[in-house]
Amino acid sequence: MLLMCAVIFGFMWLNSPSEAERAEMQRQQDSIARVQKEAKTKAASATIDMLNVDEVNQLKNVLAQMKADSTGQQAIIDREGVKVSLAGNDLTGTIALADTTLNFDEVLSSTSANPVLHNQAVAAVKKAMDSYLKNGSFANFLSGTEQIVKLQNDSLLVEVSTKGGVISRASLKAYKAFNAPMVEVFTPGENNYSFTLSNNTQRFETKDFYFTPEQVTDTSVVMSLDLGGGAKWSLRYSLEPKSYMVRMAMEQTGMQSIIPLNINSVDFNWHQKMARHEEGKMFEERNSAIYYKYYGDGDVEYTKESGDDEKDIKDKLKWISTKNQFFSAVLIADSLFSGAQLTSKEMQKGTEEYQKYLKDMTIRTSIPYASDKASPAAFYFYLGPNRYHTLSVMDKFSPGEDLKLTKLIPLGWKLFRWINTGVIIPVFNWLGKFISNYGIIILLLTILIKLVLSPLTFKSYMSQAKMRILAPDVAAINEQYPNQEDAMKRQQKTMELYSLAGASPFGGCLPMLLQMPILIAMFTFFPSCIELRGQSFLWANDLSAPDKIVEWTGQIPFITNYFGNHISLFCLLMTVTNIIYTYLTMQSQSQQNAMPGMKWMMYLMPIMFLVFFNNYASGLSYYYFISLLITIAQTYLCRLFVSEDKVRAQIAENRKKPKKKSGFMARLEEAQRQQQAMLREQEKRKGGKSKARR
């Protein structure tokens, strides 16, 4: 592998262009780009675009209508860099382009010193005018000044923007980010959602409109669009007390004049750039996805957590969520979502956004709607932590339906999840009532688990001791039946020996196998336990993140994706302890029948664990480290209190007693007897055929 890599990299290096060749290639590309730009400029300057009389009059009519519907202020079109107002019968204003600003008089002129800029300004005016014409009754709300209304309770602080009437910021008071005093689930520019209202000819995007805040209190606000003629469309936001829930209700009056009754659905589009909250981006990114629950008794599913993913869901949904490692934004419908198109994309490496964000997520769905209903749709936004106790309370928030919000916390498959939710989390929370240091809680939790599993540990040790004592007898049987044709007899005699001595080659494996579900359950519990977030212990500043003692900036090929660019001390201690435990285990087992190379494989496993666990939560490595230390102590205690002489005496006593064969052993011996009979019959037939030939 190393030689192959060396050859490939050497070939790439030898065939890479020189500095002079790269400079020449860049010069040619710049020359081509310059010629293309000059050609475009020449083509653009050949003609001068103009606003015709009909377009000018149409623009005046739009402004006149807006002025008639306004509250007395001068109407103005303010969109796409275009700011135009109507003074008497004259249009005045400016058009802001990338490099300059033109007066509206210059756009109306048939002569221009710079035809390219003139044509760009005309195109901007036409585009802005089209937006106002397409929005009909809503056109009056395309211009305005953004205002922010703050709502808060004991847990949550949200900002609602009049631009689009959306929640633009959500801050969690009880949680700190690695680079900010509060965790912000999203901030302005990162989160945007919009309802698409439509009639038979037009579509209205609420994100384009400036709402008017009404009925403002510390915990509620109504964002309204007064469309005139008795028509009004609003979004009411209210915070639930001492909760991470925000109620969002659609309210309306007189909308039948704008949206016909044959329109029975409203589209909802939600776009979010998911921001980082943890210092360890790699693991947080692996736990970010769009989660969703099917309507009724349906299960919870999600998009891929690594790589890009798209899903087109046709079935009804109850809620949709943008979820990262420890925090989620969940939109829960009072009724349902009619399917959804979900897109999750990773940020491009090497960009500025890559360091700031985890994923780029887009959700497109629709909801039932009727223009003659006062409140056609309502939702709850859950903007809070992925904490099991909090989410389990929210699961019963919708009467008659289990929301299954706890599925936002990845606790493993059914068996492992049951162990976590039924045993580990209750014990962990119970210990947390009396102890504030989570390092001590993990220590006590580990001791409790090892005490519960100690009978299995003792049984495993006793089985290993018996197998070690019986090793000379097994070797004698192997010497007595060395040939391959005696394999069945050799196995039968070995099993008889184990049966008489009360030993089993699987006696040491079974207790370990029964402990595996708990080990795997803990593997999923610690990285998802938000209670450990920001909690320090000894040298670890955060038990939910790696405890880095050495860091570097370089990348190790094939390893950095798992190992990271640091060394975690708890993971290193776990690895050293694991090697010591492996050595003790190998010493306590018979090595006569060990496979060649197995010894080195056993020592290689702890090194592999170092690679894969180095980037995990330090609380997990700390747990495994303590667990291994206790296991080593249990091994020495077993050796201290369990005399091998007594075990030999017990085996000898078992041999003297007549031992009834179990049903399994009887069936095994019968199968062996029948197989031996078949082999003898086959040999007999072969011998007969040989005589016949002779």
Q: Which domain holds residue 593?
A: 438-652
Query: Is 680 a domain residue?
Result: yes
Q: Tell me whether strands 220-228 and 212-214 are parallel, antiparallel or unpaired.
A: antiparallel
Residues 567, 664: one domain?
no
Q: Which pLDDT value is given to residue 603?
A: 72
Residue 93: both structure tokens together? 């204003």
| Residue 467 burial (CB count, 10 A) | 20
Mean pLDDT across the chain: 79
Cβ neighbours of residue 272 closer than 8 Å, sequence gap 6 or more: 186, 190, 191, 192, 322, 329, 360, 361
pLDDT 10s digits, 303-318? 988 888 999 999 999 9
Q: Which pLDDT value is given to residue 45?
A: 47
Residues 124, 156: one domain?
no
Residues 687, 606: one domain?
no
Q: Which pLDDT value is given to residue 68?
A: 52
pTM: 0.74
Query: Is 36 a domain residue?
Result: no
More confident residue, 530 or 492: 530
Residue 163: both structure tokens together? 């631009």
User: SS3 of 527, please?
Assistant: helix
Residues 389, 467: one domain?
no
pLDDT band at 273 (very low <50, low <70, confident <90, very high): very high
Phi, psi of 659 (to 5 degrees): -110, 120
Q: Are 611 and 563 in contact (CB under 8 A)?
A: yes
Q: For the chain, what is the domain count?
A: 4
pLDDT band at 382 (very low <50, low <70, confident <90, very high): very high
Distance CA 242, CA 124 (A): 48
Residues 104, 183: one domain?
no
Query: Is 318 a domain residue?
Result: yes
pLDDT 10s digits, 56-103? 776 777 777 665 544 455 667 776 677 777 777 777 777 787 778 777
Residue 130: both structure tokens together? 């089209």
Residues 478, 539: one domain?
yes
Where among 134, 157, 172 does a domain terminate? 134
Average the pLDDT over 109-133 and give the result.
74
CATH number at residue 189: 2.70.98.90
For the purposes of burial, counting CB atoms within 10 Å of the CB of 158, is it exposed (0-12), middle (13-18) or buried (19 or more)?
Answer: buried
21's enclosing H/E stretch is: helix 19-44
Q: Which of 680, 300, 634 is nearest to 485 (CA)?
A: 680
Query: Is 164 a domain residue?
Result: yes
Distance CA 209, CA 227 (A): 12
Distance CA 577, CA 624 (A): 9
Q: Are 628 and 447 in contact (CB under 8 A)?
A: no
Question: For residues 428-466, b (16+ Cβ closer than 10 Å) or e, as one string?
Answer: beebeeeeeebbebbbebbeebbeebeeebbbbbbbbbb
Residues 204, 323: one domain?
yes
**Amino acid at the residue 562:** Y
Cβ neighbours of residue 257 closer than 8 Å, sequence gap 6 or more: 229, 230, 231
Where among 100, 134, 168 does a domain terminate? 134
Q: Which of 75, 59, 68 is nearest to 124 (CA)?
A: 59
Query: Is 583 a domain residue?
Result: yes
Residues 276, 333: one domain?
yes
Q: Which pLDDT value is given to residue 296?
A: 85
**Amino acid at the residue 654:** N
Phi, psi of 210 (to 5 degrees): -100, 115
Residue 557 per-residue DSSP state? T
3-state secondary structure 231-262: EEEEEEEEECCCCCEEEEEEEEECHHHCCCCC
Q: Which pLDDT value is given to residue 44?
A: 46
Q: Which of 461, 450, 510 is nearest to 635 (CA)?
A: 461
Distance CA 85, CA 62 (A): 10
pLDDT 10s digits, 650-669? 666 666 665 555 555 566 56
pLDDT over 60 (residue 564): yes
Query: Is 556 a domain residue?
Result: yes
pLDDT 10s digits, 390-412? 999 888 877 778 899 999 998 88
Query: Is 431 a domain residue?
Result: no
Residues 270, 321: one domain?
yes
pLDDT above 70 coverage of the chain, percent? 74
Query: Is 690 a domain residue?
Result: yes
For the purposes of burial, counting CB atoms within 10 Å of the CB of 370, is it exposed (0-12), middle (13-18) or buried (19 or more)?
Answer: middle
DSSP letters spanning 623-680: HHHHHHHHHHHHHHHHHHHS-HHHHHHHHHHHHHS--PPPHHHHHHHHHHHHHHHHHH
More confident residue, 570 or 594: 570
Q: Are 118 and 107 in contact (CB under 8 A)?
A: yes
Residues 522, 561: one domain?
yes
Residue 325: both structure tokens together? 């490692």
Q: Which pLDDT value is given to residue 481?
A: 73
Residues 361, 450: one domain?
no
pLDDT band at 248 (very low <50, low <70, confident <90, very high): very high
Q: Are 109 and 42 in contact (CB under 8 A)?
A: no
Q: Which pLDDT value is given to residue 614?
A: 80
Distance CA 339, CA 546 (A): 39
Q: What is the largest CA-CA distance in the chain?
A: 127
| Residue 72 burial (CB count, 10 A) | 5
Residues 236, 117: one domain?
no
Q: Tell me whether strands 357-368 and 212-214 are parallel, antiparallel or unpaired.
A: unpaired
Cβ neighbours of residue 87 closer than 8 Å, sequence gap 6 or more: none
Residue 107: both structure tokens together? 């756009």
Q: Which of 274, 272, 270, 277 is nearest to 288 (CA)?
A: 274
Where among 393, 410, 427 does a domain terminate? 410
Q: Are 276 and 357 in contact (CB under 8 A)?
A: yes
Average the pLDDT over 424-451 and give the result.
90
pLDDT over 50 (residue 476): yes
149's enclosing H/E stretch is: strand 148-152
